[in-house]
Amino acid sequence: MSENPPVILVVEDDPNLREAIGDTLELAGRGALLASGGEEALEILAREKVSIVVSDVRMMPMDGIALLKAIRLRHPQLPVLLMTAYAEIDRAVEAMRSGACDFLLKPFEPGALLAQIDKYALPDPQTVTDVIAHDPASANLFGIAARVAQTDATVLLTGESGVGKEVVARFIHRHSARKNGPFVAINCAAIPETLLEATLFGYEKGAFTGAQTAQAGKFEQAEDGTLLLDEVTEMTLALQAKLLRVLQEREVERVGGKKPIALNIRIIATSNRDMAAAVSRGGFREDLYYRLNVFPILIPALRQRPGDIVPLARHFLQEQGTVMGRAGLAFSFSSESLLAAHPWPGNVRELENVVQRAMILAPGNVIGPEHLGLQGTYSQPLTDFVPPAEKLSESEKRVDNGSMKDLEREHILKTLAEVGGSRKAAVERLGISERTLRYKLKQYKEEGHFQE
């Protein structure tokens, strides 16, 4: 039993049954709130933190199905377990289609009720402290993630580049029964096509030139844990077919091998593309899409969860400040206002990059708007606020009389050169959108600083 047991809201219009269920939960060490009907239940949910709702179906004037639909609108992450008589089995099917997590047939044993609660109840909101979820959209996201973490369902995480898909994947792993097993991540876009198959599936000695010893692949390395297939839409169709077989059979065969190896792993896949559109275009297998899309979660862009912007910025500042030996850094009120107002096309990755740059540029313990480089704030001469010379790289020392725009241009062009001119790789590193990079490069070309 956890130190903070889940709070269960019981909704039942029969007073005797309501009290009996409440007593059962209290004796089992579960916190229980009791409501005599749907309206009272919604009032309780408006002021109390609840981990799961257990409701009867047949109630008046608001029945369990109507209550379920109201909860889905106001508290979409909250699991609802419905109690129904055998004669109302058709209503139970309707309830499942409306979003109920499960249903119990009356009469039921106390153990059956407790088992369902343990299976579906969300963790106490106060115990989920390993992520930043101040915005309601994020609270909803991690509530859903915590729910699916209790199962072994394959999860498909989608959303714009930089929204934090791997953060959500790691959260699911940490809150699952596999948390003591390995978490293995592979970026399908970062590994050359010729190596990806061997990296995923492993290979036997002599399978190809250079294979001097046998090597387990990522699937085997994730045994008893979780495998994250990051940017899975970057796989070729041929490799997609092999992946589909692994997911169907739950076994893998190494390159050059003849014996299948059984797997006990959980799969999480991510993509920043519209996967349904990729299927329509023929770029992604439809059968694989449905195999991965068992439990889809769309991660909102940072601009869609503005309540997280400043808390995330403070988190990055504290985290990086500890690493850089500048633990006393803080944002000014005006800089936090500027951060909150920015649209963040590069999402969380862009925010982290901005915080890191601001830490380098701020001479004291306060980061002001002029250090952020947002919305035209690269206007103050760099010499007014550069950090001590010993904290600067040689390239940064050379621009001590330049402007912030010069520093930004040097950083962008240096990054582009480091990735061999790949604009896709550059925007990933810089945390900006491709549109922003195109605009900047066009500007640098017109100024004579850049040539295609």
CB neighbour class for 50 (10 Å; exposed up to 12, middle 13-18, buried from 19):
buried
pLDDT band at 124 (very low <50, low <70, confident <90, very high): low
pLDDT at 328: 84
pLDDT at 74: 79
Assigned CATH topology for domain 7-123: Rossmann fold (3.40.50)
pLDDT at 377: 43
Are 243 and 254 spatial neighbours (Cβ–Cβ below 8 Å)? no
Report the share of the chain in percent with pLDDT over 90.
Answer: 44
pLDDT tens across 375-384, in order? 544 333 333 3
Of the listed ranges 28-37, 114-123, 234-243, 362-371, the least confidently predicted one is 114-123
Of the listed ranges 117-121, 143-147, 406-410, 446-450, the least confidently predicted one is 406-410
pLDDT at 92: 65
Domain with CATH 3.40.50.300 in the chain: 136-300
pLDDT band at 51 (very low <50, low <70, confident <90, very high): confident
Domain with CATH 1.10.8.60 in the chain: 304-446
pLDDT at 230: 94
Q: What is the mean pLDDT of residues 332-359?
A: 93
pLDDT tens across 358-394, in order? 999 998 899 999 999 885 443 333 333 333 333 344 4
Cα–Cα dist 165/171, whole Å: 10
Of the listed ranges 203-212, 393-402, 422-431, the least confidently predicted one is 393-402
DSSP calls for 362-400: -SSSEE-GGGT--TT-TTS-GGGTPPPGGGS-HHHHTTT
Residue 61: cis peptide before it, omega within 30 degrees of 0? yes
Are 54 and 75 spatial neighbours (Cβ–Cβ below 8 Å)? no
- Range list of β-strands (E), 88-240: 102-106, 155-158, 183-187, 202-203, 215-216, 226-230
What residue type is 402 in one-letter code?
Answer: G
Question: Of 43, 65, 46, nearest to 56 (Cα)?
Answer: 65
Assigned CATH topology for domain 136-300: Rossmann fold (3.40.50)
pLDDT at 41: 94
pLDDT at 375: 58
Domain with CATH 3.40.50.2300 in the chain: 7-123
CB neighbour class for 180 (10 Å; exposed up to 12, middle 13-18, buried from 19):
exposed
pLDDT at 128: 55
pLDDT band at 411 (very low <50, low <70, confident <90, very high): confident
Determine how β-strand 366-367 pairs with β-strand 52-56: unpaired
Q: What is the mean pLDDT of residues 87-112?
A: 77
Determine how β-strand 330-331 pairs with β-strand 102-106: unpaired
pLDDT at 412: 84
Residue with more model confidence, 175 or 206: 175
- The yes or no reply on domain 304-446 and CATH 1.10.8.60 is yes
pLDDT at 85: 77
